[in-house]
Amino acid sequence: MALMSRRRMLGAAGAALAAAVPVVLGQQKSGGAGSGKTPISLIIDDGGPVDAMFYMHPGYETPWIVPNAFTERVAATFERFDLHGKLTVLPMPSCLGRIDKSLERVPQEHLEGFLKIIRERIAPRFDITPEFLTHLAAYDLKSGKYQHIFEDAWISRAPLEEVIDYFVLAFQILKNVGLPAQGITSPWNSGIDVEKKYAQALAEAHWKVYGKKLTWYFLYVSEWDQPRRCTVEYTVPERGQAVVSVPANAPDIFWCMELPTQSEKVELIHRNIDRLVPADGRPGRIRQLIEGGYPVVLLTHWQSLYHRGTGLGLEGLTALAERIQKVFGDSLRWVPLREIARTALPAGGGPGPDHG
C-alpha cells in the first residue's frame, strides 16, 4: 500500500465536515506595526527525537532515531533564512514514554541533546506545540497504559473533562522540559468532528497551565484547494481569552515517501516549489494567498525533512527558502504561528502582545 499521511487519508471526510463550518472572513494583516510586509509562517508537524513514521507505518524503513546532527542542520537552515513558524514536539512520541522523563530505546543523552537544540536554537523562532500526546495510541490517564485506539478516535468519544486533562498533561510535559506551548496541533484530523469540544478543552487546559489569553490549534489543511482564513472558534469573555483555528494553506510539498526512485522524489519537490513560487514571477500559490488576503501558512513534517535519514526534504526547504527570498525579497516577514493567529482577532481588541 502506498504511504500517505493519515491526515491525507482522513482528508475527504474532513473536507465534507469543513464545508459545513461557517468561516469568519477577515483580511490578512501586515507582518508588523507599520512594516507593510506580509507575514508568512511554516508549520512542521510530528517533531521529536525519533522518526514517528517508524511506528505509524510498520515496515517503513528509516533510521528511526533522528540524529541530533540533523536537528542542528534544521536549526542552521532556520537561522540562515530567518524562518519562523510552528514546530511540534511530541510529549510522548510513539508511546515510548515521556520526554520529561525517558523514552524506551532512546539514549537519555540523545533525548537531552535534542531538547537542548530545540530550546536554544529553534524555540526562539518557532512556536512549540504538542500534537496531543503520542500521535499514535491514546494514553489512559487513569491506568497509565496505552489504549487500543488512535488519538483521533479517542477525542471523538472522550468527555470534555478528560480531553482537558489530556491536554493539560501534554502542556505540562513540554513546560517541564522548558518548552512552553503556544497552542496545539491535531494529529491527523483529530477533533474535526467535535471541534467545539476540542476548542473548549484547549481553552481550559491552556489557561490552567499557562494562563494566557490567546491560544490556537492547527487542524485544517487546504492544500491546493480554496484557502481558509483564521477564525476565532471559542472565547471566554470573562478572562478575555480567545481560541483561534489556524489553517495551513498549502500541502506538504516535500512529502514523497511513496515514490520509488530518488529522481522521481526530487522532480516532485521541484515541481511543487514551482507551484508555490514560480521562478519566472508568474503567480503561484503564495502570490494567490497574498492577493486574496489569506494566511500565508506553509506545511511540512519532521519525517519529510528527515526523509529516511537522507535530509532530502531539508534540501527542498532550503531550495524553497532561496526561491522565496529571490522572488519576494523583503516584502515578506517570517513570523511565529501565534502572529498568524492574532490576525483573526478584532482590530484593537483581543489579547495583547504580552498575553500571546
Q: How far apart are the first and last CA of the chain?
A: 43
User: Is the pLDDT reported for residue 119 higher than 50?
Assistant: yes
Lowest mean pLDDT among 1-10, 99-108, 134-143, 230-239: 1-10
Domain boundaries, the chain: 6-342
Residue 131 region by backbone torsions, left for phi larger than 0, else alpha for psi between -120 and 50, else beta: beta
Instruction: Say yes or no to pLDDT of 151 above 60.
Output: yes
Cα separation, 325 vs 319, in Å, equals: 10
| pLDDT for residue 241 is more than 70 | yes
Q: Which residue is it, cell 509562517?
A: 41
**Chain segment 261-307, per-residue pLDDT in tens:** 999 999 999 999 999 999 998 899 999 999 999 999 999 999 999 99
Average pLDDT, integer, range 132-149: 98
pTM of the model: 0.91
| pLDDT, mean of residues 153-158 | 98
- Mean pLDDT confidence for 168-194: 98
The pLDDT assigned to 348 comes to: 53
Q: Give the rounded percent of residues in the chain with a pLDDT score beyond 70.
A: 88
Give long-range contacts, CB 8 A cutoff, 24+ apart: 318-322.
318/77, 318/80, 318/81, 319/269, 319/270, 319/273, 320/253, 320/273, 320/276, 320/277, 321/77, 321/80, 321/81, 321/83, 322/81
Is residue 31 over pLDDT 60? no
Per-residue pLDDT at 1 exceeds 80: no
What is the per-residue pLDDT for 18?
40
Condensed to tens digits (0 to 9), the pLDDT of residues 59-97 reads 999 999 999 999 999 999 999 999 999 999 999 999 999
Question: Which CATH code for domain 6-342?
Answer: 3.20.20.370
User: What average pLDDT does the chain have?
Assistant: 91
